[in-house]
Structure 1
């Protein structure tokens, strides 16, 4: 225990005395959370604004959908001018039984959305005018809690990525630095068992990751962002811990191959950055092409992201632990064995 305590204390002191390491561990990933959190803070409440002229059942129906923000104008020409100038994507004028709809072709996405809403409302009004009962009814609602905000989707991915960066770089750079400075050689000659050295590094890595998570969650819980820990969020803990160990194993493997800190930094970036983009850290992976979703299945960050999202956002039960925990455990065992086989106490 004395050797373990001494090693762990030395690793912690090396960590917090290096200002650059502190910046890239806490401040740098937190910047992404703050930027994306502020950028998409009101994304769930925004509505498409269109111009309307006149009044009647169609205009009333458009207002009741809640998907459009109606701006009233006095004449059709005035409303159409707003659309032609690009200030608004569309306009609807209701004069008795006549409905006039004009849209801007330059924004086909918004035009298609508004057009679908307008046609749906007109069809509903026409059906009501016939006096016939509705044959089909629609039960539509979102599957998550309606109070969810974008920050609850952003936080798990950015936090997982920040932890991955810290674990990989921390393990790789420490191993390379200690080998070059003959620290590993001295430890090997000292009466210290290899498991003690490894355990000390793992404990320090886990402690740093927990501190990162607390900072991320604490910032996201601020009123300006509005994170809410809904559902079975506590079930994310085993996924979080297994994710830390998976990236620690990657860091050990990188550190075993690299001879200098510069090489270790480059190799770690090559591993972590593509993994972040292919694992749904910065954008939903469900919207990616099929080939990208297939490739992402081999990355531990994808399963860590999905596991964290399942419990922090979707409120799934313990059954959802099986896949991410099995994949991450298998990854730890395979990469850990490879790292142990290629490990070197001294540079050849």
Structure 2
């Protein structure tokens, strides 16, 4: 009796062959694993923390009738957070707010005011130093204008009260960006070169001549890329967590959430690769097309530093890029303990991008 042809077994055979081919490719290993790990090692050994923002809040008992209060509110580098006490405290514990500023009368004629800061262990110490420098500079400016004969209008307390919070390390910012870098590189360059070569060598055409359906051919090749890149993500997260104390707030639960988010992002990024493989006329045109997609995201999506470091006119463009939303969701899940459900906005935007990208990919995909 003739045995029925198994589409699933054929797909898995394609997956196995393609996966072995990926592991034998030096460029795939270098760009997906080695390159991100080099960045993690460099930033991990440097230590310290990356500047995220200088969000501050004023204590509810702050004296607002003096010259200092409006002067501080007018500083462009300080983003004043207006939330309830409970929300501010939560943000402070998570490192989202650098400090709570309290301005009060000192009870002395000189200086008439005292400024105290409340921060947390989750805040980058460098941000606190920057905040203190800004406060000192603004006080000096007020002294020069209004209090020429007095030593100072206010004194900043040297004792900074710190509430408990998770320690924020450089790796907590760098690793999500490097994981996104790896996923985007593999999704675009890996898929683009893979399917272009399969089409050029008429492998896809030969596959098409067999009983296996087209969808299973694509799924088999795509599945091999997904398996390889998920293994890459495990290695990157594992190295960061074990050797550099990358924060996984809820342990295994956080890890699984990160892997799910990585899977969603990889599926989207592979769609870009399908488009590039279809529109490229020859192999030499793949890198320029791929770089048009990847390079702006590497530079503008918060991969190496916060998008808040960019000019205000550029930030809306940064916030449109899909890698930005992956990085933001990744950092919220890993360090702040957010769930996938609470990252619905970022995941929703990735979903919208996926619909648009695959609509274009289906229109442009070629078999030969």
* Same fold (TM > 0.5): yes
Distance in 2 between residues matched to 1:305 and 1:126, nearest whole Å: 36
**Other-structure match for 1:42:** 48
1:239 and 1:324 in contact (8 A); partners too = no
Aligned in 2, Cα 1:6/1:126: closer, same or farther, shift over 3 Å?
Answer: closer
CA displacement 1:162-219 (0-9 Å, x = unmatched):
1110111111001110111111111111111111012112211221221111111121
Indicate conservation of the 8 Å contact 1:169/1:251, yes or no: yes
1:190 pairs, out of 196, 200, 210, with: 210
Q: State how far apart, in whole Å, the 2-side matches of 1:43 and 1:310 are.
A: 16
Contact 2:189 2:287 in 1 (8 A): yes
Instruction: Rate the CA distance shift 1:126–1:299 in 2: closer, same or farther, 3 A.
Output: closer
Q: What is the TM-score normalised by the length of structure 2?
A: 0.66
Change (3 A) 1:319 1:268: same
Q: Relative to 1, partners in 2 of residues 1:27 and 1:125: Cα closer, same or farther, differing over 3 Å?
A: closer
What is the alpha-carbon distance in structure 1 between the residues aligned to residue 26 and residue 339 of structure 2?
A: 40
Contact kept? 2:276, 2:290, Cα under 8 Å: yes
1:43 and 1:126 mapped to 2: Cα distance? Answer: 24
Cα RMSD of the aligned pairs, angstroms, is 3.2
In structure 2, the partner of 1:61 is none
How far, CA to CA, are the matches of 2:135 and 2:366 in structure 1? 64
Separation in 2, partners of 1:220, 1:125: 41
Cα drift, residue 317 of structure 1: 3.8
Who wins on radius of gyration, i.e. which is larger?
1
Moved more, 169-178 or 21-30: 21-30
**The one of 159, 162, 168 aligned to 2:179:** 159
3-state DSSP class of the match of 1:230? Answer: coil
**Is 2:22 aligned against 1:15?**
yes
CA distance in 2, matches of 1:284, 1:290: 13
Distance in 2, Cα, partners of 1:149 & 1:308: 15
Greater mean deviation of Cα atoms: 272-281 or 324-333: 324-333
1:240 matched to 2:262? The reply is yes
Unaligned runs of 5+ in 2: 1-7, 51-109, 112-129, 141-151
Aligned to 2:226: 206
Partners of 1:33 and 1:154 within 8 A in 2: yes
CA positional deviation for 1:279: 0.5
**1:221 partner SS:** helix
Cα distance change of structure 1 residues 16 and 318 upon mapping to structure 2, 3 Å threshold: closer
Give the 3 Å change call, closer, same or farther, for CA 171–111 of structure 1 in structure 2: same
Give me the TM-score of the superposition, normalised by structure 1.
Answer: 0.70
Shift of 1:17: 1.3
